[in-house]
């Protein structure tokens, strides 16, 4: 007897507008009856072409991942999808999902993740729809999905038993085929086609001390396949490699706070030549060397400056892009090397048109995200391999030496991000409005011996399709010397988060090794005064500094 398709009556939820990278809420919100189903059906109802199509589905393995996948499979079958490609065990990193969508010419995919946010029954969950080509849905599409979610009155579901996902192979769900694959193999093949694996293998076989922390998140199996099985690193070099529903109780955000043990081993103990970590869904990265932390803006700039060491970019790159709050270190490289540099709003989707048009090959964000034109998402393991490829090409130079040589050539952009988390919406808006109200009068003022040359609210017009995005953050610019940026984050699940970005350029050689807090302390005081942070938030300091 064939499975029956049921049409189930529902009512809208008023909180299904997506943020920077999808719909993120607490697990208990997604566990509400009809909540996930409403959002998924809104996607099916809004984006044409699902009937007879192929989709990719998977997630970072966090709590509720397996349950949500079964719901999506049953709904896809009921909505006429012909084939689903799903990662073994439901595990699929965000960049690997983008690669599968592109490789198998899928109509799109559902990625289940709340990225770097904590997991577990009391943690966070998320979902986003990726379009054909492997990129994030456009603002126009997400607006349409939200509009549909506000009027939805029914969804379709195939009444059938769950599909086994723990073994590779094919199954059927009604008239739909479900292909369970080991996505680490496809992804490793892609990486091997991009980088000089022979050179990296030789580096790792030497007395080079290397460690990668997967933070009990999705990259564990991918890192094991790449570093241990294909590149010959010792098995113990990949740490916390088993994905766990609660990420082992940790916070899978690869920075100096949440990967403190790895940072201590590399920076303070100087026991590792190279160390790296990735986040919950595998799209972020942290890069460390013996005695040194590489800020995300510097990492992007160094990779771009040395792109010709990567075999696929041996002839150079057409251009590179950064999100607006990201350090302007990339701009300095582009100016000297003569390639185009683009400044976009925060959100990887803004890079995709530039990538598709061949305008850029490398791009990145300050939130520990770096990537290239191989997929349409940021990719933590790609960034790690790019650094290993660079270290192999410049054998004999330490990471610290490479970084110092870069600063001597392009200057050092000292940089910090100050997060003010769990504010009320009213507090966050008050801080933003306090600075916004001053913008017109700020140019020409001198603060802390720095003269303000421009102050504005960043807006963007896409050079490819002409679409625009306004209200993308407030900027106070001191020429090439320094910047203050303030914006609200779109990745949280509760309360409001403000992010304050501080950047100051130093070029004299004696200034290149100063402590970051020493350089940025005066600029931080200027920002606090301009934004009235203490008065408006009641906070003496940020929740997190990265």
330-346 core/surface letters (b: 16 or more CB in 10 A; e: else): bbbbbeebebebbbbbb
What is the domain range of residue 295? 186-408
Q: Is there a single domain that holds both residue 116 and residue 194?
A: no
Q: Is there a single domain that holds both residue 383 and residue 424?
A: no
Chain CA centroid to CA 225, Å: 22
Residue at a domain's end among 166, 181, 196: 181
| Contact by Cβ (8 Å): 226, 192 | no
Q: Is there a single domain that holds both residue 400 and residue 472?
A: no
Q: Is there a single domain that holds both residue 246 and residue 307?
A: yes
We report the CATH number of the domain holding residue 81 as: 3.40.120.10
Q: Is there a single domain that holds both residue 28 and residue 126?
A: yes
How far is residue 459's CA from residue 470's CA, in Å, rounded to a whole number? 4
| Per-residue confidence (pLDDT) for residue 189, from 0 to 100 | 97
Q: Is there a single domain that holds both residue 32 and residue 115?
A: yes
Both tokens assigned to 256:
């100096």
We report the CATH number of the domain holding residue 455 as: 3.30.310.50
How far is residue 379's CA from residue 75's CA, in Å, rounded to a whole number? 29
Both tokens assigned to 242:
């088993």
Tally: H helices and E strands in the chain: 17, 28
| Contact by Cβ (8 Å): 108, 129 | yes
Both tokens assigned to 291:
């005695």
Q: Is there a single domain that holds both residue 383 and residue 429?
A: no
For the chain, 546 residues long, the average pLDDT of each consecutive 10-residue run is 85 91 92 98 95 97 96 97 97 97 97 91 95 91 95 96 94 96 96 98 97 96 98 97 94 92 96 96 96 96 98 96 98 97 94 96 95 97 98 96 98 95 90 94 93 96 93 96 90 75 96 94 92 86 86
| Contact by Cβ (8 Å): 462, 476 | no
Q: Is there a single domain that holds both residue 150 and residue 273?
A: no
Residue at a domain's end among 161, 181, 201: 181
| Per-residue confidence (pLDDT) for residue 1, from 0 to 100 | 40
Q: Is there a single domain that holds both residue 197 and residue 121?
A: no
Q: Is there a single domain that holds both residue 61 and residue 85?
A: yes
Q: Is there a single domain that holds both residue 191 and residue 214?
A: yes
φ and ψ at residue 143, rounded to 5 degrees: -65, -40
Residue at a domain's end among 361, 392, 408: 408
Both tokens assigned to 386:
């790019």
The count of domains in the chain is: 3
- C-alpha pair distances (Å), 88 with each of 92, 149, 311, 422: 8, 30, 31, 36
Evaluate if pTM is beyond 0.85.
yes
Q: Is there a single domain that holds both residue 252 and residue 124?
A: no
Which residues are part of the catalytic machinery?
Answer: 115
């Amino acid at each position: 007897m064939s499975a029956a398709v049921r049409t189930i009556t529902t009512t809208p939820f008023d909180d299904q507008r997506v943020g920077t990278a999808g719909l993120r809420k607490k697990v208990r919100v997604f566990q509400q009856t009809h909540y996930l189903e409403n959002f998924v059906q809104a996607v099916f109802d809004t984006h044409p072409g699902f009937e007879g199509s192929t989709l990719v589905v998977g997630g970072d393995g966090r709590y509720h991942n397996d349950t949500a996948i079964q719901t999506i499979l049953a709904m896809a079958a009921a909505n006429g999808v012909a084939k689903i490609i799903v990662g073994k065990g439901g595990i699929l990193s965000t960049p690997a999902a983008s690669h599968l969508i592109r490789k198998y010419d899928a109509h799109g995919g559902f990625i289940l993740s709340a990225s770097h946010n904590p997991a577990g029954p009391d943690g966070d969950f998320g979902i986003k729809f990726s379009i054909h080509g492997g990129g994030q849905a456009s603002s126009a599409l997400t607006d349409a999905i939200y509009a549909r979610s506000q009027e939805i009155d029914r969804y379709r579901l195939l009444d059938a038993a769950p599909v086994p996902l723990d073994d590779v192979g094919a199954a059927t769900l009604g008239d739909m085929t479900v292909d369970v694959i080991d996505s680490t193999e496809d992804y490793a093949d892609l990486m091997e086609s991009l980088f000089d694996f022979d050179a990296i293998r030789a580096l790792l076989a030497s007395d080079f001390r290397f460690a990668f922390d997967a933070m009990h998140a999705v990259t564990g199996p991918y890192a094991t396949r790449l570093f241990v099985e294909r590149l010959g690193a010792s098995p113990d070099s990949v740490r916390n490699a088993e994905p766990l529903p609660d990420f082992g109780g940790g916070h899978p955000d690869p920075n100096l706070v949440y990967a403190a043990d790895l940072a201590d081993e590399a920076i303070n103990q100087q026991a590792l030549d190279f160390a790296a970590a990735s986040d919950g869904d595998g799209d972020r990265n942290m890069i460390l060397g013996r005695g040194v932390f590489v800020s995300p803006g510097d990492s992007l700039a160094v990779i771009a400056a040395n792109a010709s060491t990567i075999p696929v970019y041996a002839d150079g790159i057409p251009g590179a892009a950064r999100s607006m709050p990201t350090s302007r270190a990339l701009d300095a490289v582009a100016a000297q090397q003569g390639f185009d540099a683009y400044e976009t709003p925060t959100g990887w989707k803004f890079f995709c048109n530039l990538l598709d048009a061949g305008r850029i090959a490398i791009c990145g964000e300050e939130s520990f995200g770096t990537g290239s034109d191989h997929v349409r998402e940021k990719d933590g393991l790609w960034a790690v391999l790019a650094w290993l490829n660079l270290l192999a090409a410049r054998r004999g130079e330490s990471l610290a030496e490479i970084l110092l040589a870069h600063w001597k050539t392009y200057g050092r952009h000292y940089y910090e991000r100050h997060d003010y988390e769990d504010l009320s919406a009213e507090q966050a808006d008050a801080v933003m409005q306090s600075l916004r109200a001053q913008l017109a009068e700020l140019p020409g003022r001198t603060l802390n011996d720095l003269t303000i040359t421009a102050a504005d609210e960043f807006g963007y017009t896409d050079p490819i399709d002409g679409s625009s995005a306004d209200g993308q953050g407030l900027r106070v610019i001191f020429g090439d010397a320094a910047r203050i940026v303030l914006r609200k984050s779109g990745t949280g699940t509760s309360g409001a988060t403000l992010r304050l970005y501080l950047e100051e350029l130093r070029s004299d050689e004696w200034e290149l090794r100063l402590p970051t807090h020493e350089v940025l302390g005066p600029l931080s005081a200027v920002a606090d005064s301009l934004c009235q942070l203490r008065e408006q938030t009641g906070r003496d300091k940020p929740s997190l500094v990265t």
